[in-house]
Amino acid sequence: MGLAQLIDAHKQEVLGRWKEMVRTLADARKLSDASLEDHVPELIDWLAARLRDRVSTNDYGTQMLSRAHAFQRVGEEFDLVEVLVELAVLREVLLGLWVEEPAGVAPVEVLHLSQDLDDVVTVCTTEFARQVVRRYCGSPQAAETLGP
């Protein structure tokens, strides 16, 4: 069983562990389950799909999911640190799954998962910062200086 199949087989467990750990964050405690989960189930699906087929899996998926997540968290008055901790927790849970069931998982799959999560963090951080600049500075031009 490869890492993608492992993630698929344990998706609800991954989501449950992630929610339990994230609920310890101050900003996350006030959210409903639906708001907390936000785009995380789709992100988990995208990560598994990306592991299965790196060539044809659309990078646009991570861009849109990461941006949507950042946009929602800005609207809920989250701190950027907590947004990044949410993503770090997802990494920890996914890597923990691999540690628990390493058989059949190639080391390159773990490297690819880590690279994809790094991309998600980069996009999410940039979009979060862009949204904060727009909200508090009122300048779309200033927000655009943060990059694509």
114 within 8 A of 91, measured Cβ to Cβ:
yes
Total domains present in the chain: 1
Place of tokens 């990494």: 91
Whichever domain contains 18, its CATH number is: 1.10.490
Look up the domain containing 17 and give its range. 3-144
pLDDT at 90: 96
pLDDT at 148: 56
pLDDT at 67: 73
Q: What is the pTM of this model?
A: 0.83
pLDDT at 97: 95
Ranges of the chain whose pLDDT falls below 70:
55-62, 71, 75-76, 138-148
pLDDT at 55: 64
Q: Is 136 exposed, middle or buried (0-12, 13-18, 19+ CB in 10 A)?
A: exposed
Helix axes 80-100, 40-52, angle to 10 degrees: 50
Distance CA 21, CA 4 (A): 22
